[in-house]
Chains A and B, each alone.
Chain A
């Protein structure tokens, strides 16, 4: 892994630019940036030297679009060699325009097609339960438009009814769902028994507080609002 000394949140734009060649990034990349940074900076228990350690937290980027922010955060935190960023999208690069867990050890699952991460996350948590591993948590990041996919609602229902308290979903809400979410995103989860928090998706302290708050006996959703697409 690369030397991560000195990389801070303020270096992420520069790291992203190693991939894209300029400092203008798509909404799909920048909308997730602050949540990803907060997760890897102060929430997730994952060792960059051993990213598959069984007791780790699991992070699933279900919304695989615009992974430049993800790659930049992984590089800044030592999960990825910074030199790989410049090869983004090249034939032999492990860094595609959607992440592939078979190519990047620190990435749990390959995503890109929407609506896959949460169902897998529910299954991972059930597996951890079967093994009596009560410490690892599963975090799954979705986009508000990704919630349109019906598969998510199959998983939201089951997670709520089984009371998967080690599960936290983050929904990045940049108001990109074509038909909107009347009544709010959080209400969809609450109706299935989830706890919820809605935060400013650019405020690291708010994000951290919401991601680490106690929610005994129920799964938790954090709706992180950012600028509209």
Chain B
């Protein structure tokens, strides 16, 4: 078992390169040293294309490779994979209808010491704006491995969000499906914990009579499992910008009057450093804060 999602990613990339001769890795410097340390670069030197610190080119080159029938995997730190070359992703992949795997590392405030330049809590929201992207948000290295293996053999567009913020154990992962972590009576309030939020959500709701759904795929969004809970009071807890999947919940329950509390990273310039835990607390995403938010929401119903 890989100890970190980055380790799981390196191992999954090795499997992809081994099993699919049409797979290629396209980089903009970030990640190349890890692939060299793992020996993958020496094993597959032609299948690694490092564009240097040129993120727009990284996306364009990957699209050109996809045009020629390859399965490109693009990887960088989140802001440089998605935000810097966003229009290239929109045009070169979505508009040209090409497939590829986008794998980020450094989610939300993983890089708590680095400040806003290295933080991109809007990542999933941005990719959601583009058509036909599947979006995976694992919360454990084993889940990351499963989802990366799925993405490698897909032919569409996939975004896999990797993080250093981990749950203590892996859950069963089926792309496009929520895992029912805890089932309360039909119609009970339901909380959807996305990726690395699960452990803190379980701690926060331990004494509450709530169904807990665990989401590692947010697009496709498993509205069916949500509907089957019968819930009319929903809490969405996301490790990125709060409310990112609120529209999907609204769509899934369009014919059912319901209330929704969206908890996630606040859209603000925090301008603080410190640890990952400091930032989790600052955004109200620690277990105590979650408990306060959720009980407050339920008490006003």
Alpha-carbon gap, A177 to B55, bound state (A): 24
Interface residue? B57 (CB, 8 A):
yes
- B26: nearest residue on chain A (CB-CB)? A123
Interface residue? A105 (CB, 8 A):
no
Tell me how far the C-beta of B69 lies from the nearest C-beta in chain A, rounded to whole angstroms. 7
Among A101, A119, A130, which residue has the most Cβ atoms of chain B within 10 A?
Answer: A119
Interface residue? B167 (CB, 8 A):
no
Q: Flag B88-122 by CB within 8 Å of A: 1 or 0 each.
A: 10011001110000000000000000000000000
Interface residue? B232 (CB, 8 A):
no
Q: Flag B69-100 by CB within 8 Å of A: 1 or 0 each.
A: 11000000000000000011001100111000
Given the complex, which residues of B lie within 8 Å of A123, measured CB to CB?
26, 60-68
> Knowing that A120-B64, A123-B62, A125-B64 are A-B contacts, what are 8 other residue pairs whose CB atoms are under 8 Å apart, sorted by A's residue number?
A116-B91, A123-B26, A124-B64, A126-B49, A151-B60, A154-B56, A158-B51, A158-B61
| Residue from A127, A155, A157 within 8 A of B67 (CB atoms) | A127
B96 engages A101 (CB within 8 Å): yes
Alpha-carbon gap, A109 to B62, bound state (A): 14
**Could you give 29 example pairs across A and B, Cβ below 8 Å?**
A101-B96, A102-B97, A108-B67, A115-B56, A116-B88, A119-B57, A119-B61, A119-B63, A120-B61, A120-B96, A123-B60, A123-B61, A123-B65, A123-B67, A126-B61, A126-B64, A126-B65, A127-B67, A127-B68, A127-B69, A130-B46, A130-B47, A131-B68, A150-B56, A151-B57, A151-B88, A155-B60, A157-B54, A158-B52
Interface residue? B24 (CB, 8 A):
yes
Given A151-B60, A158-B54, also A116-B68 (CB < 8 A): no
Given the complex, which residues of B lie within 8 Å of A119, measured CB to CB?
56-57, 59-61, 63-64, 88, 92
Q: Which of B29-55 contact A (CB under 8 A)?
A: 46-47, 49, 51-52, 54
Q: Tally B residues with Cβ within 8 Å of A.
A: 29
Interface residue SS majority, chain B: helix
Given A127-B65, A130-B46, A130-B70, also A118-B96 (CB < 8 A): no
Closest 7 interchain pairs by CB? A123-B64, A119-B60, A127-B68, A123-B61, A154-B57, A154-B54, A124-B64
Given the complex, which residues of B lie within 8 Å of A151, measured CB to CB?
56-57, 60, 88
- B49: nearest residue on chain A (CB-CB)? A126
Given the complex, which residues of B lie within 8 Å of A155, measured CB to CB?
57, 60
Alpha-carbon gap, A102 to B63, bound state (A): 14
Tell me how far the C-beta of B118 lies from the nearest C-beta in chain A, rounded to whole angstroms. 21
Alpha-carbon gap, A131 to B65, bound state (A): 11
A120 engages B60 (CB within 8 Å): yes
| Residue from A109, A128, A150 within 8 A of B96 (CB atoms) | A109
Tell me how far the C-beta of A162 lies from the nearest C-beta in chain B, rounded to whole angstroms. 10
Alpha-carbon gap, A102 to B92, bound state (A): 12
Given the complex, which residues of A lie within 8 Å of B51, measured CB to CB?
154, 158
Interface residue? A122 (CB, 8 A):
yes
Q: Which of A116-174 contact B (CB under 8 A)?
A: 116, 118-128, 130-131, 150-151, 154-155, 157-158
- B63: nearest residue on chain A (CB-CB)? A120
A110 engages B70 (CB within 8 Å): no
Interface residue? A209 (CB, 8 A):
no
Alpha-carbon gap, A110 to B67, bound state (A): 12
Given A119-B92, A126-B49, also A158-B57 (CB < 8 A): yes
Given the complex, which residues of A lie within 8 Å of B26, measured CB to CB?
123
Alpha-carbon gap, A152 to B56, bound state (A): 9
Given the complex, which residues of A lie within 8 Å of B91, measured CB to CB?
110, 113, 116
Tell me how far the C-beta of A57 lies from the nearest C-beta in chain B, rounded to whole angstroms. 13
- A123: nearest residue on chain B (CB-CB)? B64
Alpha-carbon gap, A23 to B29, bound state (A): 50
Given the complex, which residues of A lie within 8 Å of B87, measured CB to CB?
113
Given the complex, which residues of A lie within 8 Å of B88, measured CB to CB?
116, 119, 151
B68 engages A122 (CB within 8 Å): no
- B55: nearest residue on chain A (CB-CB)? A154
Given A113-B87, A154-B51, also A124-B68 (CB < 8 A): yes
| Residue from B46, B49, B61, B96 within 8 A of A110 (CB atoms) | B96
Alpha-carbon gap, A126 to B61, bound state (A): 8
A122 engages B61 (CB within 8 Å): yes
Given the complex, which residues of A lie within 8 Å of B47, measured CB to CB?
130
